[in-house]
Amino acid sequence: MPKTDATSAPFAYEGLDRVIHEKARLGLLTSLMAHPKGLAFADLKQLCGLTDGNLSRHLQVLQEAGLVDVIKGYEGNRPHTTCRLTRTGRRRFLDYLAVLEQLVRDAAKAAGKDESAAGRLGIQPA
């Protein structure tokens, strides 16, 4: 299927990445963005409210997409897993956020709101 032209389909939001857009993965990436050195598996699990299995599966998807590094090792005799964003992951997440900001601006404009509505959300005019 050919990509749509942004001028002919301004509300297609091609930059909304399905890998990122899923609720749990969005939370994971946001948590990792806030912790550039990475987070322990247990901390990530708590921050995002996920089970071990859910977290493992979502991390696998993000890792396969090249967005997250999962580093397994030991602290003493105990296994320790750390997760962090890759450079690609950080860039793709920031690109994704820019598309979301545009979506909010478009929705506020379509609803008849002026730029102050977007401003209250901390979104700068394009």
Answer yes or no: is pLDDT of 29 > 80.
Answer: yes
Per-residue pLDDT band for 126 (boundaries 50, 70, 90) equals low
pLDDT cut 90: percent of the chain above it: 67
Instruction: Report pLDDT for 74.
Output: 93
Q: Are 14 and 3 in contact (CB under 8 A)?
A: yes
Instruction: Report pLDDT for 9.
Output: 84
- Rounded to an integer, the average pLDDT of 12-35 is 93
Instruction: Report pLDDT for 1.
Output: 46
* Cα dist from 12 to 26, 46, 66, 100, 103, whole Å: 20, 34, 24, 12, 10
DSSP state of 88: H
Does the pTM of the predicted model rise above 0.85? Answer: no
Per-residue pLDDT band for 11 (boundaries 50, 70, 90) equals confident
Crossing angle, helix 87-110 and helix 23-34, to 10 degrees? 120
Q: Are 47 and 100 in contact (CB under 8 A)?
A: no
